[in-house]
Amino acid sequence: MSDDLIEVEVSPVEGQQWFDGEPFPLVHACRTDGAELDAVEEWVRQSRTTLNRQAMDHGAVLFRGLPLSTDQDLDRFIRAFDYPNFPYADSLSNAVRVNRTERVFTANEAPPDVTICLHHEMAQTPVYPSRLFFFCEQPAEQGGATPLCRSDILFERLKEEFPEFVADCETKGLLYTNIMPAENDPTSGMGRSWQSTFRAETRAAAEQRLQNLGYSWEWLPDGCLRSTTPVLQAVMKVEPGRKTFFNQLIAAFHGWKDSRNDPTKAVTFGDGSLLNPATMDTVAKIAEELTFDVPWQKGDVALVDNRVAMHGRRTFTGTRKVLASLVAMDA
């Protein structure tokens, strides 16, 4: 019954970007006072084909003013989309996370003064989510925005400015090298242990998984594991005539730094050749120009198409609680 549904309106948001006359992100604001979660779920069920298309077209959809305040509310909202779940346990992500529900977990446990650079979720591994949900349970006192960047627009800009670099990305692909600790290291944005990453209790079990995934590896004297991926794509064809800069270059080059990892060694082209640091600086600058910072308000939800838009995290003060949920690729 449409009478029972909530009223939702496309609305502007400060700092919104516009590309080819389309807003980034698209914002849906709920105008119904005292809306019930049941009605929100029904609205999502009836609108999900459209919402899904909008997420892909716009890169991200921001929902404001919905009656969501807990992880359980978020879990119900997400389930209404009927997407396949992407469980953290299955992922090869190197972030340390804590699950709240089967589908919902804390976005990243890294400390507030750590910047998480723009990236496509898990583009440095062979298995990555198709979409992500972010939910603001509690905004930071200061800062803590989630920067979002349209990767298809970035790709077009880079093609103009660095045609050779883009050609190398497309033809050679990328290799990512990462050193994982023997125990979870919550002081790092990439501190997930090799045991947790590969769901392995022993070195032999980890090696089996690495081999199946096509990784090469080396055990270090301190118990850490250095692993290198098979050659992964640096550019994704999302749909005909539309490509994205689908990789972890910006994050790897500017952010993959902790007590174990040196960002200049974290990523090379697929043939082992090195990237030009000056080019990477400019790539990061252009991405920053295209970025929209989600100015989190309590209860906001962002649906991000991971194939189209990159995300990151600004530094913050105070307590910030942003929850996340990942969607597997469509069957």
Contact residues: Fe ion, CB under 5 A = 121
Nearer to Fe ion, 280 or 322 (CB): 322
Nearer to Fe ion, 251 or 275 (CB): 251
- Classify residue 14 as exposed, middle or buried by CB count within 10 Å of its CB (0-12, 13-18, 19+): exposed
Determine which helix (DSSP H) or strand (DSSP E) holds 132, and give its type and residue range.
strand 131-138
Comparing C-alpha atoms, which of 128, 136, 18 is closest to residue 68?
136
Q: How far is the CB of 221 from Fe ion (least distance, A)?
A: 31
Nearer to Fe ion, 139 or 189 (CB): 189
Q: How far is the CB of 74 from Fe ion (least distance, A)?
A: 17
Q: How far is the CB of 181 from Fe ion (least distance, A)?
A: 19
To the nearest 10 degrees (0 to 180), the angle between helices 163-172 and 151-161 is: 120
Query: How many degrees, rounded to 5, is the angle at CA 213 between CA 210 and CA 218?
Result: 30
Which single residue brings its beta carbon nearest to Fe ion?
121
Q: What is the identity of the amino acid at 223?
A: G
Q: How far is the CB of 164 from Fe ion (least distance, A)?
A: 29
Nearer to Fe ion, 52 or 91 (CB): 91
User: Which DSSP string corresponds to 144-170?
Assistant: --EEEEEHHHHHHHHHHH-HHHHHHHH
Q: How far is the CB of 277 from Fe ion (least distance, A)?
A: 23
Nearer to Fe ion, 121 or 300 (CB): 121
List the structure tokens of 5: 């549904």
